[in-house]
Copies of this chain bind each other. A is one copy, B any other.
Amino acid sequence: MAEDAPRRRSTLDEVAELAGVSRSVASRALNNAPHVSRAKREAVERAVRRLGYVPDTTARALATRQTGVAALVVSGEDPSIFADPFFAQVIVGASGALEEADLHLMLCLAASDRGRKRVEELLRSKGADGVMLMALREDDPLIRTAEEAAMPVVFGGRPIGPAPRWYVDVDNVGGAREATEYLVSRGRTRVAAICGRLDTEAGRARYRGYRDAVLAAGLDPFPPYEGDFTEPSGAAAMASLLADRPEVDGVFAANDNMGAGALRTLREAGRAVPGDVAVVGFDDLTVARIADPPLTTVRQPIQALGREMARMLIALVNGQDPTPLLLPTRLVVRASA
């Protein structure tokens, strides 16, 4: 490699020698552990400064059996799932919490076969101290792998099936119910749902919440119009919805992207929003505010989701046994409903 400075990195031995102490003492001083006299501690500090010494992460990891790394795995069948700004928010939250515990964040997009295989290896190779798992689909092979992992695993959003031992999730059912109730309370009587992928728990739970609310109001639920959480899929779902049931006057979209897509289709179809059709989204990401009209939506605390996942993982790494968390949602009313 085109390196210029052939300057070798200094080692703890050199620090110890320069400070006139043994390596053990130098090590203890560095980690400010007890059993080091004030004088030697200072001598070591001086030597560290003079040499510009920085401990070798790898060597330390080998000796302590701790990598100082937490992995965030985003599953899905296609890397573009990660383009959803949702994940960026999760990362901001997680990153902050990990920073406090001095852990680094490793990001794994387990979208390709290759990617999934590498995650599997990671989970078994002690390459991280723990893992956060997100966006798992039904029968995702990672679920099994996680059970056999050599490290703690926290789920972000429950997968379909039996709830894992440690997870942080959002109250999807409650949020969807609230959104739908709101539509009903504004006099809408033909309320449909554009739901997310039904092979994800979030997709199902939000449809369930919608359905509960519609039934509770004594109305007839629409069948699910399924999208994949992207804007075009929302537009397409809205189009078939409009074709099947032109009388629709309210739409609950399972996320803002699809809500924005629905808005676009409605605009193109000449339907006024909220005049003819009221629309509610889910997430409260930037797109909800940018949409025209701005989208009434269910805000979920996405950064908090990331933060709590990280905190839960940290607790596990520290040998504690935290309890699963369900984060609340809140309806944010804007112009679209």
A residues with a Cβ closer than 8 A to B are 1-2, 9, 52, 54-59, 61-62, 67, 69, 79-80, 82-85, 87-89, 91-92, 95-96, 99, 102, 104-109, 112, 114-115, 118, 121-122, 124-127, 150, 152, 165, 231, 257, 260, 264, 267, 286-287, 289-292, 316-321
Cβ of A152 to closest chain B Cβ, rounded Å: 6
| Contact B317 A292, beta carbon cutoff 8 Å | no
Instruction: Knowing A104-B122, A108-B105, A289-B231 are in contact, say whether A96-B83 is a contact too (CB < 8 A).
Output: no
Q: Name the contact of A57 in the complex, choosing from B85, B108, B127, B165 (C-beta under 8 A).
A: B127
Cβ of A321 to closest chain B Cβ, rounded Å: 4
Q: Offer 17 A-B interface pairs, CB within 8 angstroms, sorted by A.
A: A2-B316, A9-B126, A54-B126, A56-B125, A56-B126, A61-B62, A69-B106, A83-B92, A83-B286, A95-B115, A104-B108, A105-B106, A106-B106, A231-B286, A231-B290, A264-B292, A287-B290
Cβ contacts under 8 Å, A54 to chain B: 121, 124-126
Cβ of A23 to closest chain B Cβ, rounded Å: 16
Cβ of A267 to closest chain B Cβ, rounded Å: 7
| Contact B85 A99, beta carbon cutoff 8 Å | no
By Cβ-Cβ distance, the 10 closest A-B pairs, closest first, are A57-B127, A292-B292, A54-B124, A2-B321, A58-B61, A1-B319, A107-B107, A54-B125, A95-B109, A57-B125
Instruction: Knowing A1-B321, A96-B79, A118-B102 are in contact, say whether A57-B126 is a contact too (CB < 8 A).
Output: yes
Cβ of A296 to closest chain B Cβ, rounded Å: 16
Q: Name the contact of A9 in the complex, choosing from B84, B91, B150, B316 (C-beta under 8 A).
A: B150
Cβ contacts under 8 Å, A121 to chain B: 54
